[in-house]
Amino acid sequence: MTSKNIQFELLAQEGEARCGVLKTPRGDIRTPAFMPVGTQGTVKAMLPEHVRATGADVLLGNTYHLMLRPTAELINELGGLHKFMLWDGPILTDSGGFQVMSLASLRKMSEDGVTFSSHIDGSKHSLTPERAIEIQCLLNADIQMVLDECTPFPATEEEAERSMELSMRWAARSKEAFGDRPDQALFGIVQGGIYRDLRERSIQALTDLGFDGYSIGGLAVGEGPDLMKQVLDYTAPALPREKPRYLMGVGKPEDMVAAVLRGVDMFDCVLPTRSGRHGQAFTHRGPINLRNARHAKDPRPIDAGSDCPASSRYSRAYLHHLFKAGEYLGPMLLSWHNLHYYQELMSGLREAISNGQVTGFVEGFHAQRAEGDIEPL
């Protein structure tokens, strides 16, 4: 096996919290990292240069959506996903499994994989561990995921075990299909629901195979923050120290902070863009909804001190008006602001961990939110 051109370097650790850098041929990913989601080949309502300007090092693309439209084959013919969507930094793709379960119809699971009908036009498709890798290679994804079954919550221990074991067999097939790709990374995905024994068996199975990084799947599926933290408490530290750890589909700012304290390095979530499209802005004092009448005459920007134009230049009164009037510019500006807030949170965590001050940083994070979601005018 040739040596990998994707390498993780741990720069600092404080308690379980880690700060590092995942070096890739397309650029460095500073961790803890938040990956904006570009489901259909675009981070919704954002120009790629503005996504970059928020401080994002890496994007997430969704295999399920792209395989259906415009198809992985067409994106490949056009030069790959980076060129297609004008993003020259690294791209991480999921395997498509999660979205098949949440969006597709007429699903049939078997040992081999899953067949389903497209939510767009009803056309029939199948996804196997091998096909998921093939698609991610056609997209030219820098960081790829094994196909897995995201165990639902709640699940009995027996259900979670059966599901985890299937995912581990699929992980082995995925690794085999992925083969030897020096410029691309393959991550295994830990499953096992809320059962410690299953999580540990899953980690053992994956580390026996050996992956370039480890994802934690099956969380943020309804178990709530307390159970999530419990699972992370024993799952994250059990993962190989020298590899990046990615908590899939998380999350809320407070959940990401909790996960970083438990040793997680990477995150993705649609929350900043989705909630931005609905008028919600994340702030240091908590989320605010710009549709609310209390913002109608407020001349202040969301964050006067920010270096993000969307945060610092437009008044809350204007943003309120844009959402009331149903204008495109409202979602455009709040998606931008929220992505900037998320990157700022990651950068704050990285700096705090580097300086051995993560405890104080997290105390400050919670104290600011406790002050209430908005300063009096």
* Residues noted as catalytic: 94, 268
The site for a copy of itself (CB under 8 A) is made up of: 40-42, 44-47, 49, 65, 69-70, 74, 77-79, 84-86, 296-297, 299, 309, 313-315, 317-318, 320-322, 324-325, 327-329, 331-332
The HSE-up count of residue 264 (CA atoms within 13 Å, CB side) is 32
Tell me the one-letter amino acid at 340. H
Nearer Cβ to a copy of itself (49/208): 49
Select 81 or 141, whichever has its Cβ closest to a copy of itself. 81
Nearby residues of 58 by Cβ (< 8 Å), 6 or more positions away:
29, 33, 35, 89, 90, 91, 92, 142, 143
Q: How far is the CB of 103 from a copy of itself (least distance, A)?
A: 14
CB-CB contact of 186 with 146 (8 Å)? yes
How far, in Å, are 60, 94, 101, 217 from residue 249 at the CA level? Answer: 11, 10, 14, 8
Cβ-based nearer residue to a copy of itself, 41 or 263 = 41
| Cβ distance to a copy of itself smaller for residue 173 or 295 | 295
Nearest-Å Rg of the Cα atoms of the chain is: 20
User: How far is Cα 304 from Cα 306, in angstroms, rounded to an integer?
Assistant: 6
Cα gap 183→232, rounded to integer Å: 30
Q: How far is the CB of 120 from a copy of itself (least distance, A)?
A: 9
Taking each helix axis from N to C end, the angle separating 196-209 and 157-178, rounded to the nearest 10 degrees, works out to: 10
Least Cβ distance, residue 119 to a copy of itself (angstroms): 12
For residue 29, give the 3-state DSSP assignment: strand
Of the two residues 5 and 312, which places its CB atom closer to a copy of itself in the complex?
312
Question: Residues 6 or more apart from 42 whose CB is under 8 A from it?
Answer: 48, 85
Contacts of 320 (CB under 8 A, 6+ apart): 290, 291, 292, 293, 295, 296, 298
Q: Least distance from C-beta 24 to a copy of itself, angstroms?
A: 23
- CA-to-CA separations, 127 to 46, 104, 135, in angstroms, rounded: 30, 12, 9
Nearer to a copy of itself, 193 or 301 (CB): 301
Backbone dihedral angles phi then psi of residue 120, each to the nearest 5 degrees: -90, -50
CB of 272 to a copy of itself, least distance (A): 15
For residue 263, the minimal CB distance to a copy of itself (Å) is: 35
